[in-house]
Structure formats: C-alpha cells, structure tokens
Amino acid sequence: MTTIASNLQATRTAIADAATACGRAPQAVELLAVSKTFPADAVREAYDAGQCRFGENYVQEGKDKIAALQGLQIEWHFIGPIQSNKTRLIAEHFDWVHGIERLKIAERLSAQRPAHLPPLQVCLQVNVSGEASKSGVPLEQAEALARGIAALPNLSLRGLMAIPAPTDDVAEQRAAFAQLRELFDKLNRDGLQLDTLSMGMSHDFPAAIAEGATMVRIGTAIFGVRSKSPA
C-alpha cells in the first residue's frame, strides 16, 4: 500500500472512531481530502484508494489539477479565500465552494456559473473566533447573508463552514465548533434547509465530529506536511 493509501485508511478509521464515540454513524461524516500544494499524481493516488472528494485553496493550481485529472469521477471543492477577480474560474471549474463571506462574491459566482452545469454547492464561512480570526462573516450577520445566498438562482446553499483559531485545548476546540453547530440548528429552525457542517482539520477533527461536523477537511494527515504554498 502507498503512504497516501495507508494515511487515508488511518484517517477514515479515526473519523469512524470519533463518530462512534459520540453515538453518530460513521457514514454521517464525509471526508474532504485537502490536496493543496500536492501534485495531481498525489490526488490520483488517493482516488485510486477510493477517495473522490478533494479540496483546493488556490484557483490556478486547482484548475490545472482538474484539467490533468479530467475523466475521473472527482468532486472538486474550492476552500480558499475568494478574490473577486477569481470568481469566474471558480464558477466554471469547481463543484463546491466553502469560503463565501460576502454577498457580492456569491452574486458573482451565481452570475458566472455556466448554464450547462448544476448549481454551485456552497457553504457560508462564519467567524467563530471573534477577534482571533479575520475571515468569515460575524455570527450575528450570518442569517441575513444565508438568506441572500439562498435566493441566488445558480447557487445551492448547503451549509456552514468555519476555521477556528488553532488551539491544542480540546475544550476550546469544541466550544468554537459548538457555536457553528448552534447557528446551523438555528438557521434550520428558521426554515433554511442546510445539511452540511464543514468543520474540522487534521489537528481538531475529532472535536468537530463530536460537535456535529458532517464534512471534515483533512490535508496533512493524508498527504503529509506541506512544504510550499504556491501563490
């Protein structure tokens, strides 16, 4: 077995263990393999080991990998920060976008989504760490933004995403993820039909799963430590 295949297997086991430990079904948590900075060959290796959902942070790099792996049944997620001059490429090439924090960006993505493709599946990024994080919409503005996004024709609002400030303290990890889950529950009570809670990375996914994550975004534990970050 290759290193990526065995890392993937270990990650799947750890996800299933974390789910089972809190009484959730292992299938209730999807794995998004974050392949940023790793070559198309690494993605193919993970794909051959049964992984079909990949996350990329850089538009050009992601677009190149999508082209290199055309023909494989891969679902591509854009999870990086979104600049307005990059929305067209994202709308044309990706299946999902996790980092929407402004209505203007959502409007551009909807307007630029090609008519022959299904709606772009999107998550709203929420700032659950207050001052400690600059990205994501503040909790109290999230519902208004969610309603704005839900009204756009070529986007399908699936849920919420967060990247809490990193900490080794599991109680702090859980407190941040709980904020996102509480918002998710509130928006669903208010009539938005959300099914995706995108939270948890290599260092904190067990806490995210304990707080209800339905999709964990894991890079390092599968592909190894990143040595470079292309612009």
Ligand X SMILES: *Cc1c(COP(=O)(O)O)cnc(C)c1O
Do residues 46 and 38 touch, judged by C-beta distance below 8 A? no
Q: Which of 137, 157, 162, 218 binds ligand X (CB under 6 A)?
A: 218
Q: Which is nearer to ligand X, 115 or 225 (CB)?
A: 225
Q: Contact with ligand X (CB under 6 A): which of 57, 127, 129, 214?
A: 57
Q: Is 8 a binder of ligand X (CB under 6 A)?
A: no
Tokens of 178: 């709980």
Shortest separation between residue 190's beta carbon and ligand X, angstroms: 26
Could you say which DSSP state residue 229 is in?
-
Question: Rounded to whole angstroms, how far apart are CA atoms 43 and 38?
Answer: 8
Nearer to ligand X, 97 or 155 (CB): 97
φ, ψ (nearest 5 deg) of residue 217: -110, 105
- If the CB atoms of residues 36 and 181 are measured against ligand X, the closer one turns out to be 36
| CA 206 centroid distance within chain | 16
Find the binder of ligand X among 66, 79, 82, 194 (CB under 6 A): 79
Beta bridge partners of 56: 78
* Residue from 12, 36, 53, 174 in contact with ligand X (CB under 6 A): 36
What whole-number distance in Å separates Cα of residue 92 and Cα of residue 113?
6
Give the residue, chosen from 34, 97, 155, 208, that forms a contact with ligand X under the rule CB under 6 A.
34
User: Per-residue x/- marks for ligand X, 172-201, CB under 6 A?
Assistant: -----------------------------x
Q: Give the separation between CA 231 and CA 228, rounded to whole angstroms.
A: 10
> Six-digit token pair at 120?
């772009």
CA distance 186 to 181: 9
Output the smallest distance, CB 108 to ligand X, in A. 20
- Token duo for residue 229: 């970050």
Nearest distance from residue 10's CB to ligand X, in Å?
Answer: 13
The verdict on 133 binding ligand X (CB under 6 A) reads no
List of residues contacting ligand X (CB under 6 A): 34, 36, 57, 79, 163, 201-203, 217-220
